[in-house]
Chains A and B, each alone.
Chain A
Amino acid sequence: MKLTVDGLLVYFPYDYIYPEQYAYMLELKRALDAKGHGLLEMPSGTGKTISLLSLIVAYMIHNPHHVRKLIYCSRTVPEIEKVLEELKNLIKYYEKCQGETPNITGLVLSSRKNLCIHPDVSREREGKLVDGKCHSLTASYIREKHEMDDSIPICQFYEGFNREGKESMLPYGVYTMDDLKQYGADRNWCPYFLSRFAIIHAEIVVYSYHYLLDPKIAEVVSKELNKEAVVVFDEAHNIDNVCIDSLSVKITRRTIDKSTQALQTLEKAVAELKQEDASRLTAEYEQMVEGLREAAVARDTDLILANPILPDEVLNEVVPGNIRNAEHFLGFLKRFIEYLKMRLRTQHVVQESPAGLLKDLSARVCLERKPLRFCAARLQALLRTLQVADPAAFGALTLVAHLATLAATYTRGFVVIVEPYDDRHTLSNPVLHFSCMDSSIAMRPVFARFQSVIITSGTLSPLDMYPKILDFNPVIMSSFTMTLARPCILPMIVSKGSDQVAISSKYESREDVAVIRNYGQLLVEISSCVPDGVVCFFTSYMYLESVVGAWYDQGVVASLQRHKLLFIETQDSAETSFALINYIKACESGRGGVLLSVARGKVSEGVDFDHHLGRAVLMFGIPYVFTQSRILKARLDYLRDQFQIRENDFLTFDAMRHAAQCVGRVLRGKTDYGIMIFADKRFSRADKRSKLPRWIQEHLRDSLCNLSTEEAVQISKRWLRQMAQPFTREDQLGVSLLTLQQLQSQEQQDKIEKQVIQK
């Protein structure tokens, strides 16, 4: 349908629309008009993506001078693929209505591994190896060598692209990964570099978070993107963690060993080079004198990782004298590694600030801050000079150099923690964490650079937390509920078992046999009355393991198997994938399956259990993050001091967003339905309940907040019977589904206005 949103003509590729989609578009438009940032929460499975795309594309067409580009960031590869397909649908709809393709190019950028079409390189299963092999075929010096000597292999696809590809633009249209590969294969062009090149001019770019948030990658990939752009972070409930991870470094003994090896290789290479062709080293030295900037001229294939620090912190100066010489620099690095080795030898936990680390460094091994800051860039330059074919072998060393640069650059918002032992075990496994505590550091340049940044997800409650921890001022901050013609979600809080023992995963009672048995009973009862798929989430993997063990002894597993097939997430993700695919088979064949999984695990973050794949989801306990972790403690302290966020508030917020994320996986669209069971007494407390997303809270009536196992099962049975009745469009129309006429009626418009909950 073609609808007008606040005066803007929007093409929406469906014949009907959910009221909240319209409301969402309204709010989104306001944010775009104001050229500000927005924070929007809309229930999962109500067509967020298509609303976003339709509105922004329409906006771009009508205001080409205000918004030139849409950068759509999503978390997982399947999500990205889905976005592209939706976009394709939309463009097809434009084509159908207007008779011609709109002048819009949309494409995806993904890793080399996903885009490579080189027959040998693409066969590698691991991304790291693909990157390395690609580099060894495309680096500028390799290609130079090839011109002298034909026997040195290069990549024909890159050569093809380099010769012809840069002159032409991609024809208008939408390119998924497969389309890009096909397009590349037809022309003998490298799809990866084609995409890297094309995103600069394309109107719509879809890629993963890292390409914008991680300075190491963003500098290489997204540096030249237009500033008059709308950036969308979809599924952004975890965005703070992504920011933090992108600026954090973890050093283990393995890293040290590997980097020592790499260092020796480099030393040897330098010595050899000195004998054979000293001129290259001198040339490099000269370059250092002139500054690093010039050294890196437009050689997009050479550089895989840029500086780990944000571009505004990169010193635009001449490299300090004591690391200009290659040998000196290697010596410098060696001292740094030795220092780290010494720090890892400690027997007790050490926590200090980066400043403390710097001071210690200068006192013990005489390493000054300034040269440390240049470490990453200097190593990059050296690797280039030495014409290293496979940079993958120097990964560990690169990491160490990154640590040096980060530690020397940032003094605030970071913490250094050395732990000689594992969290839970007494095994000696020393780790040095250089951890970022402030998610706003990585986020700030994005907010500053682009005119509108939209952060959206199905679960962002409580909304006011995000502006605080990401440190920005949204012009729009809204949460949307779900209009429903029938109660298609059934959230329940089960607080006690059939024996009236309170169930809770809190630390004191989680190993209690009665609690575990009650959890087991609940699951057995539910799996006997719910059809098809049942998904359960545990608070941690450790807990899952011990509960499964106990259930086996108690016979719970046997009675579960009587009803459905049992699948369990493991720490091996390949194994889990296989279990998952079989779980799906079990659901589809009608046998039904139970999947035990972990909140914060890979399954909870990326897999949807829509329709029959998840008719019920159980959350066993509140998924608090492991609170004894020192990194977390440091972060909590920092948040308290810096942003006035109380520890408990943050912990609860974090736990509840994960819980909501887990249970939200069952619902997709209004024809779907699912039971959501929160099995922990503590969920019924106001501070927890109020932090659930609005659309779940609305259905969580008081009468559903303190149930025993039997009561919950009775309610489920009744509800399932209701849901099994035929559900037609007529039931939905006018309430949760609108035609164009209905949408345009004044009454509806008012209703929609009212629905938006603004904060």
Chain B
Amino acid sequence: MTTSSEDVLLSVGHVRYKKGDGTLYVMNQRLAWMMENRDTVAVSHKYADIKTQKISPAGKPKVQLQVVLHDGTCSTFHFVNPAGADAQAKDRDQVKMLLQNLLPKFKRQIDGELEMKSRLLSLHPTLKHLYEDLVISKVINSEEYWNTPTLKHYTESTNMKQEAGVSGAFLADIQPQTDGCNGLKYNLTQDIIDAIFKTYPAVRKKHVDYVPNKMTEAEFWTKFFQSHYFHRDRIASSSSKDLFGECAKMDDQAIASAMKHTTLDLTVDLPQFTEPVPLLPEEDSGEKEKDGTSIHRSMIKRFNQHSIMVLKASHKTNSSSSSSNGSSKTTNNNKVENGMKETNGVEKRPTTDKDPAEPVDKKRRIMEKLHYEDLDSINSGQDAQELKLSKVERYLLGPASQVSQSSTSTNNPPPLSALASVCQAWSSGQQCQRPVRVSAAAAVGALGELSPGGALMRQHHAACMAQLVPQDVKSELNRLYLSGGELLRELWRCFPQPGASNDSEDTPARAEKFYEALLRFRNVKLRPFEEKMLRDLTPLATSLTRHMNQMIDTACAKYALWQQRQAKLR
């Protein structure tokens, strides 16, 4: 028996699992359940395997505890203490509390990699699609999937923590829908809620204060949508009933304090623009008329505040994630407000140890404003590091040609274009500009011709396709291309580069694997799609996947050819 070696922290009798009564043991390392009158453990979950525990709501007749494992399966334990519901709940809560303490300790032990992978998948919808298409449909196995370079790029890059900013229109995107009977329905997603919280800290604070103690989540958001805070064209009611009336005030204060703490750039500091006539009373100082248009006025104020806060929200995440990036950009705006200000920009010399940052900054701004880059002869990239290339032609033409050149130098003359570009690079003093293949004007012209309506796009094929294909098919096709492309890329990657003779041993095996995966993909994913299209979208059905098929065919042909050669070589 395994239990003997472990400490049993708690044992609870009268626990039903899959219609059998037994005892639940909470142990050091795992959670176990033993059928009554048996001595083998029927259920045993290591804590490290357990993702979460769930309990049945308070009012339910059955008192249950469920543990969800990382692989998605779960076990439910039903507490059936004959002493009654209270005792059952007490049993359950004991277990729950204990688990609550124990689980986090083991959380950390579980595979950090796994966690990261699942986070990756949840963060990037495309990866998730890819995963679903390739792994879940068993085209390739999970390990292969994670080893593809695309994924490696994700898993290995450390700076993937780039949070998206807040859309400026997130409030407007909550389109109210009438539900037919005098009501409005707002669709709220987690993204929008996050955006609201990020942008309006005041609302978040309210949310923390009120939910779930004083009202439910739903009530809270209902109130939110009813408040003038959301409807910007309503005048703020002064009554304290409005939950969010305070928020508006808090926002005002936040903005006001931000205003006070921001040293204005001199180019935008409007109040300081003009020099007033000394001593004479200024016009209309202090008199603010209150009249009919103040709805608009407060609305305008809200719009400004909204934009400022959206900007701030995205700024905050920026600076926290990549501090090196954020600091350089914002220097001209966020300055220490006092210090220099107090003495109007000048300190006495003896105490000027800390460099008077403001004047320097100001000067930089002015210089920026009055500098004409085209009148100065100095190249703008003066202080930039010059790129030194040991082999210019390699940079210009890519490594492949270089390799082929070296290996087949005896019989193959180097391509003429390479020579030309090498000469060009020499003549321009190794400065290594990229050879201009087409002029800018010609490029623009070509772009124009290639856009719908241009000479080369007369038939409006693209436009027609785009209009004829329904949205869901389009997204499905997109996914097919995504996963198919991934496989194709892998397969092509397995073929040896021309000239690079030193193949590693496993490439044929790898190639075979991906070749098979590709065929599987064709059968499992592409064919069903084609059939579906044949049923639903007859005129287009074949043309939709023609390109995809073509690509697969080419790859297969290449593979066959390669196989032949390999066989011959051996």
Could you say which residues of chain B place their CB within 8 Å of the CB of A621? Answer: none
Interface string of A166-185 (1 = CB under 8 A from B): 00000000000110011011
A349 to chain B, nearest CB (A): 20
Residues of A within 8 A of B295 (CB): 549
At the interface with chain A, which of B264-272, B468-476, B482-490? B264-272
User: From B375, which residue of chain A is reached at the shortest CB distance?
Assistant: A14
Q: Is the CB of B265 within 8 A of A737?
A: no
- Determine how close the nearest CB of chain B comes to the CB of A553; give it in whole angstroms: 7
CB distance from A640 to the nearest CB of B (A): 28
Most chain A beta carbons < 10 A, residue from B287, B314, B333, B343: B343
Complex CA distance for A574 and B255, rounded to whole angstroms? 12
Q: Quick check: B333 and A581 within 8 Å, CB to CB?
A: yes
Contact assessment for A542 and B293 in the assembled complex, using a CB-CB cutoff below 8 Å: yes
Q: Does A557 contact B (CB under 8 A)?
A: yes
Across the two chains, which residue of chain A brings its CB closest to B264? Answer: A577
A75 to B272, CA, bound (A): 12
A350 within 8 A of B: no
Is the C-beta of B479 less than 8 angstroms from some C-beta in chain A? no
* Chain B positions within 8 Å of A568 at CB level: 300, 303-304
Q: Hey, which bits of chain B sit against chain A, CB under 8 A?
A: 165, 167-169, 172-173, 232-233, 255, 258-259, 262, 264-283, 287, 289, 291, 293, 295-297, 299-301, 303-304, 306-308, 310-311, 314-315, 318, 329-330, 333, 342-349, 359, 362-363, 366-367, 369-370, 372-377, 440-441, 443-444, 447-448
Q: Is the CB–CB distance between B267 and A577 below 8 Å?
A: no
Q: 20 other contacts beyond A184-B346, A549-B295, A577-B264, with CB at 8 A cut-off? A: A16-B374, A76-B274, A82-B366, A117-B344, A185-B347, A255-B281, A394-B279, A398-B280, A399-B281, A549-B296, A552-B299, A559-B172, A561-B307, A574-B259, A582-B307, A585-B333, A586-B307, A589-B315, A606-B270, A729-B374
A602 on the B face (CB < 8 A): yes
Most buried by A among B167, B259, B277, B373: B277
Most chain B beta-carbon contacts within 10 A, residue among A398, A562, A582, A589: A582
Chain B nearest Cβ from A28, distance in angstroms: 18
Given A258-B281, A729-B374, A562:B172 Cβ within 8 A: yes
Tell me, rounded to whole Å, the shortest Cβ–Cβ distance linking A33 to chain B.
26
- Choose among A391, A427, A580, A737 the residue with the greatest number of B CB atoms under 10 Å from its CB: A580
Q: Which of A195-203, A365-373, A717-725 contacts B (4 or more CB under 8 A)?
A: A717-725
A564: chain B residues at CB < 8 Å are 168
Q: What CA separation (Å) do A589 and B375 show in the bound complex?
A: 27
> Is A420 at the interface (CB under 8 A from chain B)?
no
Query: Quick check: B311 and A585 within 8 Å, CB to CB?
Result: yes
Nearest residue (CB) in B for A49 is B370
**Is A566 interfacial (CB-CB < 8 Å)?**
yes
Cross-chain contact B297 with A545 (CB below 8 angstroms): yes
Write the nearest CB–CB distance from A422 to chain B, whole angstroms: 8
Task: Report whether over half of chain A's contact residues are helix, strand or loop; otherwise say mixed.
Answer: helix
Chain B residue, CB-CB nearest to A593: B307
> Which of A250, A548, A555, A718 is in CB contact (< 8 Å) with B300?
A548
B213 to chain A, nearest CB (A): 34
Q: Are A131 and B233 in contact (CB under 8 A)?
A: no
* A747 within 8 A of partner (CB): no
Q: How large is the interface on A (under 10, 10 to 19, 20 to 34, 35 or more residues)?
A: 35 or more
Cβ contact within 8 Å between A577 and B268: yes
Among B287, B308, B440, the residue within 8 A (CB) of A578 is B308
User: With A47-B372, A570-B297, A581-B262 in contact, is A722–B444 under 8 Å at CB?
Assistant: yes
Q: Mark out the residues of chain A between 664 and 716 whose CB falls within 8 Å of any chain B CB in the assembled complex.
A: 669-671
Q: Which residue of A lies closest to B308 (CB)?
A: A582
Chain B neighbourhood of A546, CB < 8 A: 293, 296
B278–A305 touching, CB < 8 Å: yes
For B264, list chain A residues within 8 Å (CB): 577-578, 581
Question: Given A119-B343, A737-B374 in contact, is the A725-B303 Cβ separation under 8 Å?
Answer: no
A578 close to B444 (CB less than 8 A) = no
A-side contacts of B291, CB under 8 Å: 425, 427
Given A548-B300, A564-B168, CB of A127 within 8 Å of CB of B366: no
Which of these, A78, A425, A560, contacts B267 with CB under 8 Å? Answer: A78
B169 contacts which of A178, A561, A737 (Cβ < 8 Å)? A561
Q: Complex formed: what's the CA distance from A602 to B272 in Å?
A: 11
For the complex formed, measure the closest distance between the CB of B337 and the CB atoms of chain A, giving whole angstroms: 13
A-B pairs with the 5 shortest C-beta distances? Answer: A558-B172, A15-B377, A725-B440, A561-B169, A122-B344
How far apart are the CA atoms of A258 and B287 in the complex, in Å?
Answer: 15
- Given contacts A128-B278, A185-B348, A718-B448, is CB(A557)–CB(B303) below 8 Å? yes
A673–chain B nearest beta-carbon distance, Å? 13
Q: Are B168 and A552 in contact (CB under 8 A)?
A: no
Report chain B residues within 8 Å CB of A50: 370
Chain B residue contacts of A132, Cβ below 8 A: 279
Q: Kindly identify which residue among A17, A86, A258, A565 contacts B168, using a CB–CB cutoff of 8 Å.
A: A565
Which listed residue, A392, A557, A602, A737, touches B279 by the CB 8 Å rule?
Answer: A392
Q: How far is the CA of A565 from the CA of B279 in the complex (A)?
A: 40
Residues of B within 8 A of A589 (CB): 311, 314-315, 318, 329
By a CB distance below 8 angstroms, the chain B residues around A117 are 343-344, 346
Q: State whether A217 and B283 are in contact (beta carbons under 8 Å apart), knowing that A565-B307, A608-B267 are contacts in the complex.
A: no
A47 to B374, CA, bound (A): 11
B329 partner, pick from A186, A588, A718, beta carbons under 8 A: A588
B269 touches which one: A18, A577, A732 (CB < 8 A)? A577
Closest to A184 in B: B346
Residue-by-residue, is A191-227 near B (CB-CB < 8 Å gives 1, otherwise 0)? 0000000000000000010100010110000000000
Q: A110 near B275 (CB under 8 angstroms)?
A: yes
Enumerate 9 A-B pairs (CB-CB under 8 Å) in ascending A order: A82-B366, A181-B346, A398-B279, A549-B233, A565-B310, A570-B304, A579-B307, A721-B444, A725-B440
Is B165 a contact of A81 with CB atoms below 8 Å? Answer: no
Whether B314 pairs with A591 at a CB distance below 8 angstroms is: yes
Chain A contacts for B255, CB-based, 8 A: 578
Contact A82–B369 (Cβ < 8 Å): yes
Query: Which B residues are in CB contact (< 8 Å) with A16?
Result: 374-377
Contact, CB under 8 Å: A726 / B168: no
Q: Does B275 contact A581, Cβ atoms closer than 8 Å? A: no
Our pick among B268, B280, B299, B372 for the contact of A395 (Cβ within 8 Å) is B280
Given A131, A542, A552, A557, which contacts B278 in the complex, CB threshold below 8 Å? A131
Residue of A214, A568, A593 with most partner-chain B CB within 10 A:
A568
- Least Cβ distance of B265 to chain A in Å? 6
Contact A566 B280, CB 8 Å, known A77-B266, A732-B374, A737-B375: no
- Chain A residue nearest in CB terms to B272: A77
CA of A548 to CA of B296, assembled, Å:
7
**Contact (Cβ within 8 A) A577 B270:** yes
CB pair A399 B280 closer than 8 Å: yes
Return the chain A residue nearest B318 by Cβ: A589
Q: Is A584 an interface residue (CB 8 A)?
A: yes
Kindly provide the distance from the CB of B364 to the nearest chain A CB, expressed in whole angstroms.
10
**Residue of B280, B283, B363 most packed against chain A (CB within 10 A):** B280
- A602 surroundings in chain B (CB, below 8 A): 270, 273
Chain A residues within an 8 Å CB radius of B278: 111-112, 127-128, 131, 217, 304-305
User: In the complex where A562-B167, A565-B168, A581-B268 touch, is A76 in contact with B299 (Cβ < 8 A)?
Assistant: no
Given A395-B279, A581-B262, the answer on whether A565 and B375 have CB atoms closer than 8 Å is: no
**Given A395-B280, A565-B310, A732-B374, is A119 in contact with B267 using a C-beta cutoff of 8 Å?**
no
Task: Give bound CA distance, A697 to B425, whole Å.
Answer: 44
Q: Which of B167, B271, B342 has the most CB of A within 10 A?
A: B271
Q: Are A128 and B342 in contact (CB under 8 A)?
A: no
